[in-house]
Amino acid sequence: MLKEERQQTILSVVELHNRILLTDIAESLDVSIDTIRRDVKELDAENKLKKVHGGAISLGFTTNSVKNQNIYRLEQKTRIAEKAITLLKDGSVIFVDGGTTCNELARLIPSNLDLTCFTHSIPVAMELLAKPNVTVILIGGQVSKESQISIGANAIHNLSEIKVDYSFIGTGYVDSFYGLTEFDWDIVQVKKAIIKCSKKTVLLSISEKLNSQHRYKSCDINAINTMITELEPENELLNSFRNHDIRIL
């Protein structure tokens, strides 16, 4: 039997049954297990199936049922969150925005830290509930499906009635000249309200977003008191932000 022919057979069996055992296929094709192993290794390298210990699995079988909720640039965001946490101390009253970076911040808050956290983000609230010493106060309102945060008049009104020490916010786009901008008008309105209710505003943003802009403006760049990226503070990519009285971490 030709190698090519054998590999085709292996593929069809995998497609048909979603999986095979190397021993089974070796027996049914009457070749040695080593040959099959080599075949499967090649097919795996060609991305035609997935080789696992003792057998192989159809690609569709794995990718369909596993939800890939990989967070983009998670390591950078973790680094940012770690820096942000150094700003917190017992008794702080803070606001935490939505988005994956702020979510990471919420997740990494040490459980012995005594905080009062406001948030309008459902995932952030969820994370914060796991911290025994954090008082969580939810800002209600209509919830945006994509961003999973409360938006709209009600949310903005509620924000107008509070005052926090720090707010930690994310942004869609940030530029040293154009400031913080977003794609979505409703989000911008909420961001404005958040900045208004904060004594100090901390921007969390991965460096990839630097020097980008979009349609609607949340605030000028000098509305930001502290800016945190995953970069070292000295990095030259941050140069254009230095003459704005912004503390860079």
Partner DNA sequence: TTGAATCATGCAAATGTAGGCAATAAATTG
Partner DNA sequence: CAATTTATTGCCTACATTTGCATGATTCAA
Which residues contact a second copy (rule: CB under 8 A)? 2-5, 8, 11-12, 15, 18-19, 21, 47-48, 50, 52-55, 57, 59, 61-62, 64-67, 69, 120, 122-123, 125-126, 129-130, 132, 135-143, 145, 148, 150, 154-155, 158
38 versus 89: smaller Cβ distance to DNA: 38
Whether 157 and 186 have beta carbons less than 8 Å apart is answered as no
Indicate whether 217 belongs to the interface with DNA (CB under 7 A). Answer: no
Indicate whether 45 belongs to the interface with DNA (CB under 7 A). Answer: no
Q: Name which of 124, 118, 68 is nearest 101 in CA terms.
A: 124
Angle formed at CA 201 by CA 198 and CA 206, multiple of 5 degrees: 145
12 versus 28: smaller Cβ distance to a second copy: 12
Indicate whether 38 belongs to the interface with DNA (CB under 7 A). Answer: yes
**Pairing of β 164-169 and β 93-96:** parallel
Among 9, 37, 87, 211, binds DNA (CB under 7 A): 37
Angle formed at CA 72 by CA 242 and CA 137, multiple of 5 degrees: 75
Residue 80: CA atoms inside 13 Å, Cβ hemisphere, count? 29
Token pair belonging to 132: 């025994």
23 versus 154: smaller Cβ distance to DNA: 23
β-sheet bridge partners, residue 219: 180
177 versus 183: smaller Cβ distance to DNA: 183
Indicate whether 245 belongs to the interface with DNA (CB under 7 A). Answer: no
